[in-house]
Structure 1
Amino acid sequence: MAMNLRLRDDQTEALKLRAEQEGTSMHALLLQAVDDYLARTAQQAIVRKTAMEQAAKWHELMERLK
């Protein structure tokens, strides 16, 4: 899917500089940033779901131990 992304001028300049430093394209850096974000938030969602499940599982015991 194609899409347009509008960056501020300072973001564009910083991205261009980083791409030059790393010897890659701005496009490749943005794709990596999206992949990193998706992986990080997926992991956070798993942790959050597991925490909620464990809290529900042990709720009664925790109430009795108060």
Structure 2
Amino acid sequence: MAMTLRLTAEQEAALAELAALEGVSKTDAVVRAVEERLARLSHQTEVLRYAREEAEHYSALLDRLGQ
């Protein structure tokens, strides 16, 4: 799917530098950045969900430990 990406001059320079450092095209650098960000956010969401579930499961114990 084709897409137009509008960047400031500074963002364009940063993208060009990122692509050069990774040794890929600017398109590939954008794709990688999107995929990595999604993976990171998905992981954070999963960790927070798990932490909430465990805190709820052990709430009585956590309350006793807090006293």
TM-score above 0.5, yes or no: yes
Deviation >6 Å, runs of 4+: none
After TM superposition, the score normalised by the length of structure 1 is 0.80
Matches of 2:50 and 2:20 in 1, distance apart? 41
Partner of 2:42: 42
Which structure 2 segments of 5+ residues have no match? none
1:34 Cα shift?
0.3
| Identity, % of aligned positions | 39
Mapping of 1:1-66 within 5 angstroms?
1-65=1-65, 66=67
Count the aligned residue pairs: 66
1:51 Cα offset (Å): 0.4
TM-score by length of 2: 0.79
Q: Which amino acid aligns with 2:48?
A: R
Give the Cα separation in 1 of the matches to 2:35 and 2:5: 16
